[in-house]
Amino acid sequence: MSDDAPQRRLAGLEAVFRRIATTRMRGVPVLNPALSVQAVGFGPDPLRTTPGAAPTMLGVLVTPWFMNLLRLPLQPVDGHDATALQAAGLAPLGHTVVRRYGEHALDFTGAHEAEGLGAWEQASLFSPMFAFADQPAAVATAREVMRLLRQSWSETSSPPSPPRHPREGEDPRTPAAAPFVGARLRGHDGAGRHDGVGKPDRERTR
pLDDT tens digits for range 109-131: 999 998 889 999 999 999 999 99
b/e per residue 146-179 (b: at least 16 CB within 10 A): bebbbebbeeeeeebeebeeeeeeeebbebbbee
φ, ψ (nearest 5 deg) of residue 180: -115, -75
Please, are residues 160 and 101 in contact by the beta-carbon 8 Å criterion?
Answer: yes
- Taking only the tens place, the pLDDT of each residue in 70-92 is 999 999 999 999 999 999 999 99
> What distance in Å separates the CA atoms of residue 8 and residue 97, rounded to the nearest whole number?
28
Q: Which of 54, 12, 20 minimizes the C-alpha distance to 36?
A: 20
Is the predicted pLDDT of residue 15 greater than 50, yes or no? yes
- Taking only the tens place, the pLDDT of each residue in 150-177 is 998 887 745 545 555 555 655 444 333 3
- For residue 102, the Cα-to-chain-centroid distance in whole angstroms is 16
Full-model pTM: 0.76
